[in-house]
Amino acid sequence: MRDVLIPLAVVVGVLAGVFAVAAQLVWLERRLLALWQDRYGPNRVGPFGLLQVVADGIKLLSKEDWTPPFADKGVFVLAPAIAATAALLSFAVVPFAQNIVISDLNIGLLFFLAMSSLGVYGVVLGGWASNNKYGLLGSLRAAGQMISYEVFMGLSLCGVVLMAGSLRLNAVVEAQREMWFFVPQFLGLAVFVIAGLAETRRIPFDLPEAENELVAGYHTEYSSMKFAMFFLGEYLGITLISSMIVTLFFGGWLGPWLPGLVWFLLKIAVCIIGFILIRAALPRLRYDQLMALGWKVLLPLALLNIIVTGGVVLASGSRLSD
């Protein structure tokens, strides 16, 4: 009985926690953007405006759930579900603390990469099924962006895997007991953060959405809860990329005095605030700049990182045994 109940509790806890964080991120993002623009942001609904999320949710629920007559109905409904589900599934392998992990797969890192690639289908299919030129342009950009950025997103993590000697995320965390990987894997971190921004379609890389050129990009035709699902997917994505950065480069749940879960959440919070700061400060890239940056700068950097890390690991003759 115990070995059923505890995993069940973990699953429910992770699901509820992740949903709560993703929803509250809407509030956090608006408050922080306002702070950096010398405004207040939503501060009326509940203490500090914390219940703004509830108000937004009620608003979205009471909106008309409109499916355009020219849309491809099945795919149109499926797309937002894919976007949210793919982001949510990756949390199955994230070690929130030493024991709080839904499934500590021995291919955890691969699973994360696979799921984050699946998330692109939500965007691409959403824009395609809308049968709308802006939607189509948005999903075209999403496809192009993902193909280029997926490549070195995976490659940038090879250094971490080489040093940890395992794809199991808990093993990666354990391998950082002496030194967090952001020191030896600085290049990898830089490339991964940029790829992660592109993966979550956040501001310097939000070309699929691009409000001021493509109306709303891939979710132009979406409304009500389907629209909310896309947003849930985006905020889940931010939380996910932050937790992966923390797990792979900043020692996950490792840290003195406080329990592992607290350390993990603290690190994630700093990471998410960083993401929001980037959104507050940087403008959107042009499409050709995005491609040039990806293929001409970041891909060679990721490869260089693998070669150097591989050489060092080979020379020191440690790890690689797992």
Q: Which residues bind another protein (CB under 8 A)?
A: 35-40, 277-278, 280-282
Chain centre distance of CA 170? 19
Q: For another protein, which is the closer residue by CB, 190 or 313?
A: 190
Q: For another protein, which is the closer residue by CB, 37 or 318?
A: 37
Query: HEC string of the chain?
Result: CHHHHHHHHHHHHHHHHHHHHHHHHHHHHHHHHHHHCCCCCCCCCCHHHCCHHHHHHHHHHCCCCCCCCCCCHHHHHHHHHHHHHHHHHHHHHCCCCCCCCCCCCCCHHHHHHHHHHHHHHHHHHHHHHHCCHHHHHHHHHHHHHHHHHHHHHHHHHHHHHHHHCCCCHHHHHHCCCCCCCCCCCHHHHHHHHHHHHHHCCCHHHCCCCCHHHHCCHHHCCCCHHHHHHHHHHHHHHHHHHHHHHHHHHCCCCCCCCCCHHHHHHHHHHHHHHHHHHHHHHCCCCCHHHHHHHHHHHHHHHHHHHHHHHHHHHHHHCCCCCC
Q: For another protein, which is the closer residue by CB, 41 or 68?
A: 41
CB of 278 to another protein, least distance (A): 7
Report whether 287 contacts 217 (CB < 8 A): no
Q: For another protein, which is the closer residue by CB, 31 or 141?
A: 31
Q: For another protein, which is the closer residue by CB, 40 or 66?
A: 40
Report whether 191 contacts 301 (CB < 8 A): yes
CB of 275 to another protein, least distance (A): 11
CB of 34 to another protein, least distance (A): 8
CB of 182 to another protein, least distance (A): 16
CB of 293 to another protein, least distance (A): 11
Q: For another protein, which is the closer residue by CB, 82 or 298?
A: 298
Q: For another protein, which is the closer residue by CB, 215 or 280?
A: 280
Q: For another protein, which is the closer residue by CB, 120 or 203?
A: 203
CB of 32 to another protein, least distance (A): 8
Single-letter amino acid code for the residue at 187: L
CB of 39 to another protein, least distance (A): 5
Q: Write out the two tokens for 295.
A: 């293929």
CB of 35 to another protein, least distance (A): 5
